[in-house]
Structure 1
Amino acid sequence: MAQHFLLNSKAKTLSTLRIARLSDEEAFAFLCELRWGGQEQVVCPKCGVQHKAYFISTRKQWRCKHCKHTFSITSGTIFANHKLPLQTYLYAIALFVNAVKGISACQLSRDLCVQYKTAFALSHKIRESLMVQRALFPLQGEIHIDGTYVHAAPRPKNKKSERVDRRLKANSNPNKRAVLVMRERYSAEETAKNPLCVGAKKTLTFPILSENTDTVKKLATAYIAPNSRIHADENAAYDELMVRYDLHRVNHQKEYRSDEGITNNLAESYFSRFKRMYYGQVHKMSNIYLDNYANEVAYREDTRRLDNFTIFKDITNKCLATSSDNHWKGYWQGHHRQVERLVM
């Protein structure tokens, strides 16, 4: 029996201990290499010109020869105006990468020895970089689509006589939300070329109010190419997809896999990891940040066959490529996100 990829030594190329032991110069050089390819030719975040700027060695900063703007390695990125050492941010990303089912802000605050609010903002900045950099191109080929609910039921009363029927819509939790997932499968040709290209190829997630026909039709039209093969369950919300797509159904009340081989397993495997992060790690997801959590799991699923150092470099690159002008700018001054990202 072949060894599972994650048990292979080639999959374990990142050591958090090694990252934690980086010196100031090593951490600085590593970020320069990822962002600009070195310390010689840098790009001014203000005017965008790549050149050999004046380097202020005492402050680890550059001064642009064109616009005279002074900038650092994190200027214009999601870590702009940072207060922690660079090693701390790299170590936080390494912990984030190796926690395959997610990491809570409480655990991150203990590992980094920082306040909870610092760890919460830092972990969400990493999630925001994954959100900004995701590609929303139309999916094609075989697509598995499904939805799951979070915060579905209110906490029952202590006394049985005071409990209500939680199946009724009137007694449902007002914070109840759904996450719709679409997953494209690798084609047989791609799998033949690379044995690691199996299962899901690309995952898109959308926080919605409910799994209904209008929302499903709207999202499918926007993000799935016409005439694609769609696998869905028996939910009536997917009935109208048969007009534009090759729709196949599996009735989960009777079976997980139909006699014709129809399954919805790619979507179910996503929900498996999502619920493990929900119940086993973070324990609580605010609806305001539900899209960040859902997209984080989508990213982890899409990169599950990559070694962890490659994922580490990719996430660090995404953080350096994400503009400082985002929803987490001014978090310490109380500028918190107030509105949910919902697809209506």
Structure 2
Amino acid sequence: MNYVEYQKKFPTEQTVINHFIQIRYGSSVPHCHLCGGVNRVVPERGRPKFFHCNDCNSSFSVFKDTIFEKSSTDLRDWMFAIHLFLNGKKGISAYQLKREVPVTYKTAWRMLKQIRIAMGNVDKPEFAQTIIEIDETYVGGKPRKENRRKDDDGNPTAKSKRGRGTSKTPVVGVLDRTTKKIHARVAVPNKNGQMLTGKQLLDVLHQVVKGKSTVMTDEFSGYKILAKTEHLHFRIDHTKAFADGFVHTNNVENFWGNVKRGIIGIYHQVSKHYLQSYIDEFCFRHNNRKNENMFDTLLGQCVMKKVVVHSTEPELCAA
């Protein structure tokens, strides 16, 4: 959806409400949240977001249990923020949204955070009897050694380590080569403080992979645990080649490229506390990149399936 289409679709706040009712309830009239009735539900006068059910004599908001529930921001500003966020291939920063929408930085930051929560509000995909690529990447830390700075005497500083063995946060991704759908999770330390173990890799794999599958990995020793499973395991040695016939992890590595470019180029820095929500954002973008109704898909996911505790502390965002 481009800007002209957005203007035609949502000229007033009432059009936003009507469209959301259609997305949430599948009809032009909402269902009562208490009794489920629909025949005697009427809009309340002077409160366009609220409806009254004459069957159980109760009032309810069509935005209850959604990311919009406790927001006083204009609904058209919300729709425009979602429009901008989806049209930016690698996202937009809170400062950029503040320049585009008449809200404060704190409000813009919260809006983007809520949209990311909706992006992650989706059931895990299920990959069965297919070719699976699994790989890990590491987020955070200093630039690579080729970009290291020199000290005051003109001597190169200490080399910046990459990946394993650093304080960077590991993220594990599992991709179905048939559908190109991806599932990615931030790894957390085990009880001994270790990251990243074979058991953790297997846990992420089995969150979405059902039954016996063909699994492609690199030479990381953590994947040796796959020998104890029913999966057919192939490994590619990246010191020799990027691919050996159909044995490669190029698809999931392409996804990591988009994640890294988004974080480095748009957000610059992401804390460990919020990293999973950013990973959910990039998974949603990847899994819906060919979905022409991505806007409405995201609106449907704005209805929360569980209570989410929100933080009010802003994080660093790119200008």
Is the structural similarity TM-score above 0.5?
yes
Does 2:282 match 1:297? yes
- List runs of 5+ in structure 1 lacking aligned partners: 1-13, 187-198, 338-344
Does 2:290 match 1:311? no
Cα separation, 2, equivalents of 1:140 and 1:278: 33
Does 2:240 match 1:251? no
Which of the residues 83, 89, 92 maps onto 1:94? 83
Does 2:113 match 1:121? no
TM-score for the superposition, normalised by structure 1: 0.78
Cα separation, 2, equivalents of 1:156 and 1:214: 38
TM-score for the superposition, normalised by structure 2: 0.84
Cα displacement string for residues 22-51 of structure 1 (whole angstroms, at most 9, x for unaligned residues):
2233222222221223443x1223444444
Q: How does 1:167-316 map to 2 (within 5 A)?
A: 167=161, 172-173=166-167, 176-186=168-178, 200=180, 202-209=181-188, 210-244=195-229, 245-258=231-244, 260-307=245-292, 310-316=293-299
Q: Which residue of 2 aligns with 1:19?
A: 6
More deviation, 25-34/280-289: 25-34
Contact between 1:233 and 1:249, CA under 8 Å: does it hold in 2? yes
Cα displacement string for residues 169-194 of structure 1 (whole angstroms, at most 9, x for unaligned residues):
9x944xx20110000121xxxxxxxx
Cα separation, 2, equivalents of 1:181 and 1:69: 46
Aligned residue pair count: 300
Cα displacement string for residues 157-215 of structure 1 (whole angstroms, at most 9, x for unaligned residues):
8457895564499x944xx20110000121xxxxxxxxxxxx61x21111014332221
Contact between 2:124 and 2:208, CA under 8 Å: does it hold in 1? no
Greater per-residue helix proportion? 1
Cα separation, 1, equivalents of 2:297 and 2:207: 27
Q: Which residue of 2 aligns with 1:322?
A: 304
Cα separation, 1, equivalents of 2:162 and 2:119: 37
Give me the CA root mean square deviation.
2.9
Cα separation, 1, equivalents of 2:104 and 2:283: 28
Cα separation, 1, equivalents of 2:91 and 2:14: 30
* Amino acid paired to 1:326: V
Secondary structure, counterpart of 1:129 in structure 2: helix
- List runs of 5+ in structure 2 lacking aligned partners: 189-194, 315-319
Q: 1:252 to 1:22 in 2, by over 3 A?
A: same
Q: What percent of counterpart residues are identical?
A: 24
* Amino acid paired to 2:32: C
Structure 1 residue runs of 4 or more that deviate by more than 4 Å after TM superposition: 154-166
* Amino acid paired to 1:285: V
* Amino acid paired to 2:47: R
